[in-house]
Structure 1
Amino acid sequence: MKKRQLGSCVTFFPQPTTLIASCDDEGQCNLMTASWAGIISKTPPTMAISLNQARKTYENIVQSGCFSVNMVPASLAVEADFCGLKSGRDLDKSEVTGLVLEKASHIEAPLVQSCPLNVECRCIGEYPLGDYRLIMGEILEIHAADDAFDADGKMDARIFDPLVYLGGIREYWNLGEKVAQAYQDGLKLTPRK
């Protein structure tokens, strides 16, 4: 396959579209869209998000020590895009978008009710990266949409319908369909001699 060099940039996809929820010292909550988010450790369960240090969300996390990461379904693409374009210093994004915030189980930061997967995190550290900060959060609880599970507890990922961001080309997409079973289908390959 012929390839083109793009240089040092942030074109890598897909990236999850998430809404980061946080609160300041006065209990004012903020939502921010972030695609630089992901699991970085299984033991202990840890998530990381990368935020510009000038953001209201970063300020809130420093003050409160917690945040939630809310997986955005494809049906909320417009609302998520709005939350990435406007500052929480200027307006209440949940009010403008109609996104309902609900109380989390273990942290002060809220969860986004219409997001089918919510992760409660307690900030355990940060690492400076230029104007950005890599914020690491211990996962205290994960909330998953009940309708994603059958009677036997098996999860149907199609219910989540995650919105992904294609960094570099500035587009949102959904995932499409399952193509393989992880930790299983790769075992069908035999080593080449």
Structure 2
Amino acid sequence: MHKPVNEPVFYSYPGMVAVVTSRHGDVQNVMASGWHTYIGSSPSVYGISLRKETYSYQLIEQSGVFGVHFLPAHRSEWIQAAGTFSGKDTDKFSEFGITYSEGMRVNVPILDDAYFAYECKVVDITTYGDHEWIAGEVQQRYRDDDYFMEDGMVNLEKLQIPMYTGRSSYRILDAGATEKIHPFHLLES
């Protein structure tokens, strides 16, 4: 049974971690963001939550653009490295062999191994507590069709998705996970 908790505890895991890329001038970075979501469809807007002190926040604030990527499970080490080391001290692309191509619409690295990615142009930055909520209008999408079925759903027979459970730990979502289908139908009024 649940009980009241007085200390500030946050609970949002397990969940997918987005990998965020940024660039301003000749400086670029890659970082992990556990707090992110698609927040609008007309226009398409994706949001990420970063602390103002991060190197990526500085680059995004200066450039006005960022990339959001979703990586397969065999790249969970990249996700963890991107979230552990600071771009101020480490060129994470070189140090961890993270390969990328140039964005098509905005000046950000697009990770080659991402099975889905967005290029975003900042439309708003709002402070909530100790984090900045950065909303970006999606300028370009990328999808590796090898990992998707005709209906647009991910093909878990081919793709393993890393789910962050906290404290540097991941579980893998794949075809072995139990599927539950709920065929609810809307009742006519």
SS in 1 for 2:83: helix
Counterpart of 1:116 in structure 2 is 115
Shift of 1:32: 0.4
Instruction: State how 1:14-53 maps to structure 2 within 5 Å.
Output: 14-24=14-24, 26-53=25-52
Would the aligned equivalents of 2:80 and 2:168 in 1 still touch at CA under 8 Å?
A: no
SS in 1 for 2:81: helix
Within the candidate set 168, 182, 185, 2:183 is matched to: 185
Would the aligned equivalents of 1:121 and 1:138 in 2 still touch at CA under 8 Å?
A: yes
Whole-angstrom distance in 1 between the partners of 2:124 and 2:164: 26
Would the aligned equivalents of 1:15 and 1:36 in 2 still touch at CA under 8 Å?
A: no
Shift of 1:170: 5.0
SS in 1 for 2:53: coil
Report whether the alignment pairs 1:75 with 2:66: no
Shift of 1:73: 1.4
CA deviation map 1:11-44 (0-9, x unaligned): 22232112100002x2221000111111111222
Whichever residue aligns with residue 10 of structure 2, its letter is V
Shift of 1:5: 4.0
Counterpart of 2:95 in structure 1 is 96
Counterpart of 2:155 in structure 1 is 157
Residues matched between the structures, number: 184
Counterpart of 2:169 in structure 1 is 171
Shift of 1:149: 4.2
* Higher strand proportion: 2
Structure-2 change in CA distance of 1:66 and 1:178 (3 Å): farther
Shift of 1:154: 5.1
Whichever residue aligns with residue 78 of structure 2, its letter is E
Structure-2 change in CA distance of 1:170 and 1:97 (3 Å): closer
CA deviation map 1:149-169 (0-9, x unaligned): 46x5755432443222224x6
Structure-2 change in CA distance of 1:6 and 1:142 (3 Å): farther
**TM-score normalised by structure 1 residue count:** 0.85
CA RMSD of aligned residues (A): 2.3
**TM-score normalised by structure 2 residue count:** 0.86
Would the aligned equivalents of 1:17 and 1:162 in 2 still touch at CA under 8 Å?
A: no
Would the aligned equivalents of 1:49 and 1:136 in 2 still touch at CA under 8 Å?
A: yes
Counterpart of 2:55 in structure 1 is 56
SS in 1 for 2:43: coil
Whole-angstrom distance in 2 between the partners of 1:107 and 1:49: 17
Counterpart of 1:134 in structure 2 is 133
Identity in percent: 23
